[in-house]
Structure 1
Amino acid sequence: MKLRKVIESSLLLAGGFVLHQIMPPLVAGMKPDMSLLMLFIVVLLYQDKKLTILSGLVAGIISALSTTFPGGQVANMIDKPITALAVLALVLSGKYFNLSKKFSLGIIGALGTIISGSIFLGIASLIVALPQSFMVLFISVVLPAALLNTCFLYMLYPIIAKIKGLLPKIEFDSEKETA
């Protein structure tokens, strides 16, 4: 795993943290986790298992530190790495089945958010009593978040991929020796 990939992923996850902070809560203090959007973009750009796990852990820590949901700290720490690996599996299966990039983005945005929201709510319900029923929170928070993440993924991924392609390749001496 190259240092450049780790740094770029960290910057994207930091952008996800900012998006998460400015998103207003929808129901019972829960707000859509827009940091998932950047986690999805990291997985799409690099498709590296180690980086995916690392990014999932970092996204979980960032979300845990910024959550307003009771019990959300533990739920975020468990949900993000699992979601990251699930999204990587979706990306790789999309390549295997030769799906178009646009169709794959829609599947990743929607299913990835639904997987994350389901795991989060399931774990949170085991730790604390949910302020509303699972189904109410799923319909009122997870599904709108899935729609938002899918729309934003369609908008942001091509821009970020293009910017990434325009960045100059800087190699460090240590990378040349180990590569």
Structure 2
Amino acid sequence: MNTKNLVLMALLVGVGAALYVVTPGLVQGMKPDFMLTMMFIGILLFPSVKETFLLSITTGVLSGLFTTFPGGFIPNVVDKAITGFAFLIVLLIIKKLASNMVVSAILVGLGTVLSGVVFLSVALFVIGSDVGATFAVLFAGVVLPAIAFNVVAFLIIYPIVTNLVKRSRFKTSVSQA
């Protein structure tokens, strides 16, 4: 792993953490996860198993530490690990199409859906968190808005990051395309 790439991944995770901390909770302490958007951007830039593992675990641990959802640490770590590797697998399958901004935005939306379903499933059914709301209420009140937030954030942030990467000497999938 290249040190410059590690620094860029750390910056993405740091920006995601800052956005995550300042975002208010919507329903029962759950809030849109901008760290997820940054994880997706990192995986798009560095589509390899090592980088995905590092981004997923780091993002999961930080999301878990900052979560306002009761008992949300373990669901965050599990959710980010599953979502990160599922995103990578789909990305590698449709590698040529993923360079299209619309396709990438759709992938981010689908990744957000998967993340929300995994998080809620682990939190409510495995951990047994009692937050006074059902899966459907939390899905409709938090995951659906999070899809919109994450896709819009991706559409704003990703072009900026790719422009910076192309001007620099980073070795990413974008700079080599």
Which has the higher relative contact order, 1 or 2, with Cα contacts under 8 A spaced 6 or more apart?
Answer: 2
CA RMSD of aligned residues (A): 1.6
- Structure 1 runs, 4 residues or longer, greater than 3 Å off: none
Structure 1 equivalent of residue 115 of structure 2: 116
**Whole-angstrom CA distance in 1 between matches of 2:66 and 2:160:** 26
Aligned to 1:176: none
Give the TM-score, by structure 2 length. Answer: 0.89
Superposed, 1:19-30 pairs within 5 Å as 19-30=19-30
How many residues are matched? 169
The 1:36/1:63 distance shift into structure 2, 3 A limit, reads: same
Q: Does the CA contact (< 8 Å) of 2:12 and 2:38 recur in 1?
A: yes
Cα drift, residue 99 of structure 1: 5.6
Identity %: 38
1:78 is the counterpart of 2:75: no
Which residue matches 1:150? Answer: 151
User: Is 1:56 the counterpart of 2:45 in the alignment?
Assistant: no
For structure 1, the 5+ residue unaligned runs are 171-179
1:149 shift after superposition: 0.4
2:145 maps to a residue whose letter is: P
User: Which amino acid is the alignment partner of residue 55 of structure 1?
Assistant: L
- 1:34 maps to 34
Partner of 1:175: none
Taking structure 1 as the reference length, the TM-score comes to 0.89
Q: Is the 8 A contact 2:20 2:32 kept in 1?
A: yes
Alpha-carbon offset, residue 103 of structure 1? 2.4
Greater CA drift, 124-133 or 15-24? 124-133
Structure 2 residue ranges without an equivalent (≥5): 172-177
- Structure index of larger Rg: 1
- Is contact 1:106–1:150 with CA below 8 Å preserved after alignment? yes
Q: Is the contact between residue 60 and residue 78 of structure 2 (CA under 8 Å) also seen in structure 1? A: yes
